[in-house]
Amino acid sequence: MAQHRSDPYEEDMEDVHAPRPVHYAEQSLLGALLLEPHRLHDVGDLDAGHFSNHAHGALWQAMRDLPPPEPDAHRSSPAWLNAVLGAARPHAPGLTASYLHTLIQVCPWPKHAPTYGRMVRADHSRRTVLTYAERLVQTATDTTLPNPAAITLAQADALGQFLETLAGQFASHPGSLPRTVVPATRAEHRGEEAIDEERLLLATATAHPADLSDMRWLQPDDFTLPLHAALWQCLTALVHNGEPVDAVTVLWEAQHRGLLADGLDPRDLIDLVSTPVGSAEYWGERVLQRALLGRAVDVGTRIAAYAQDEANTPHQLITGSRRALADLTTLRTRWKRSTTPPPPPRAPCGPAVSRAGPPPRTTAPTARALR
């Protein structure tokens, strides 16, 4: 992204990069208000933090803090301009009287001040969405967090709330989807730790298949390796069909699904599902959490790409970002199901009533291994 000078009034600084369009919108807005201060009330909700240039923000704040001058007096005296400069200088020492005159000269039409103000707000919104998206990616990839899934989802909620706020500030219009080409996202956590946890899950689920009936929140797409995803499908199919589950029956199911066609050694497959450790639910949550964090990285990367593309209008940015965040919804729901303990059984209120279906399942101990 092209950068512009933070101090546009410093004439001796070499201008390496051309200013971005919002720089001219800010200059035009300030010039309009310096020339016709009564238009301050037409600009709407805007504060110093919305400006991309610190000096511009200081000038805006000074104009808002000072009482507006009488129009006739302002046309004949520079007193109000001098007061604005004096109030802004403590916050932006490099400001000069000549730069205020430059702002007045570059403003095309003072009556367009409300439009310039909307441009400033729109660019600030884009920069803020970018900041939220980058924080989402950073949070999802931070291995030092004590509860990464919860903190990542909280960051996603903060981004969603900001988008809700923006939606009320910018009117919708046709052609609301961004056309930004999103770069390929980084590979999801496919390290040895992820592979080992998936192997332990498959082996432990093979040893304790009854646990799979309570793990419908885990899906094949949550696995990092296609082979592991396919073996999970083998296990869930055997359990669903009421078939016996052990290393040999898993191998047989894998053969029918074509998993041995690529040269996979049957002995290796049996070894893979024959070393159970701990509980399947624990390893399943680990796999699901990794999938959730990987999806958050994808979502944050997409939204950051939308925000970095200055061709997107505010509504395009809002719509595209909302759709990206929606991709977290399914995983969020399944994560909540996996981490929410089942409600305690209700005491019977009368004589037991016979109900069709299998007998109630005995609840497994809540303590999990390796925690």
Q: How confident is the model at residue 152 (pLDDT cuts 50, 70, 90)?
A: very high
> 133-142, 166-175, 296-305, 315-324 — which is least confidently predicted?
166-175
pTM of the model: 0.82
Residue 346 has pLDDT above 80, yes or no: no
Residue 16 has pLDDT above 60, yes or no: no
Provide DSSP, 315-360.
HHHHHHHHHHHHTTHHHHHHHHHHHSPPPPPPPP-SS----SSSPP
Burial 329-341 (b: 16+ CB within 10 A, else e): eebbebbeebeee
Residues 108-134 have pLDDT tens digits of 999 999 999 999 999 999 999 999 999
Tell the residue number behind the tokens 């680990």, with chain if given.
Answer: 286
Residues 20-50 have pLDDT tens digits of 999 999 999 999 999 999 999 899 889 999 9
Q: What is the mean pLDDT of residues 291-302?
A: 95
C-alpha span between 16 and 4 (Å, rounded): 8
Percent of the chain with pLDDT over 70: 85
C-alpha span between 120 and 23 (Å, rounded): 9
Q: How confident is the model at residue 18 (pLDDT cuts 50, 70, 90)?
A: confident
Residue 349 has pLDDT above 60, yes or no: no
Tokens for 131, please give them.
């900041």
Residues 218-249 have pLDDT tens digits of 999 999 999 999 999 999 999 999 999 999 99
Q: What is the mean pLDDT of residues 159-166?
A: 94
Give residue 51's identity as a one-letter amino acid code: F
Q: What are residue 175's phi and psi, to 5 degrees?
A: 70, 50
Residues 68-85 have pLDDT tens digits of 899 888 988 999 999 999
For the segment(s) 192-288, the CATH number from 3.30.70.980, 1.20.140.10, 1.10.860.10, 3.30.420.40 is: 1.10.860.10
* CA distances, 176 to each of 28, 163, 237, 255, 318 (Å): 28, 14, 42, 48, 9
Q: What is the mean pLDDT of residues 99-107?
A: 95
Residue 186 is predicted with a pLDDT of 55
Q: Where are the beta strands (DSSP E) in 274-366?
A: none
C-alpha span between 349 and 233 (Å, rounded): 40
C-alpha span between 28 and 228 (Å, rounded): 59
The whole-chain average pLDDT of the chain stands at: 86
Closest CA to 153 of 295, 303, 304: 295
Half-sphere exposure of 45 (CA within 13 A, CB side): 7
| DSSP-assigned letter for residue 43 | H
Residue 359 has pLDDT above 50, yes or no: no
Q: What is the mean pLDDT of residues 151-176?
A: 88
Closest CA to 297 of 319, 315, 324, 320: 324
Q: How many helices (H) and strands (E) are present in the chain, helices listed first?
A: 15, 0
Q: What is the mean pLDDT of residues 93-113?
A: 94
C-alpha span between 341 and 348 (Å, rounded): 21
Q: 3-state class of 264 per DSSP?
A: coil
Residue 370 has pLDDT above 50, yes or no: no
As annotated, the residues of the chain forming the CATH 1.10.860.10 domain(s) are 192-288
Burial of 22 (0-12, 13-18, 19+ CB in 10 A): buried
Q: 3-state class of 179 per DSSP?
A: coil
Neighbours of 176 (CB within 10 A): 14
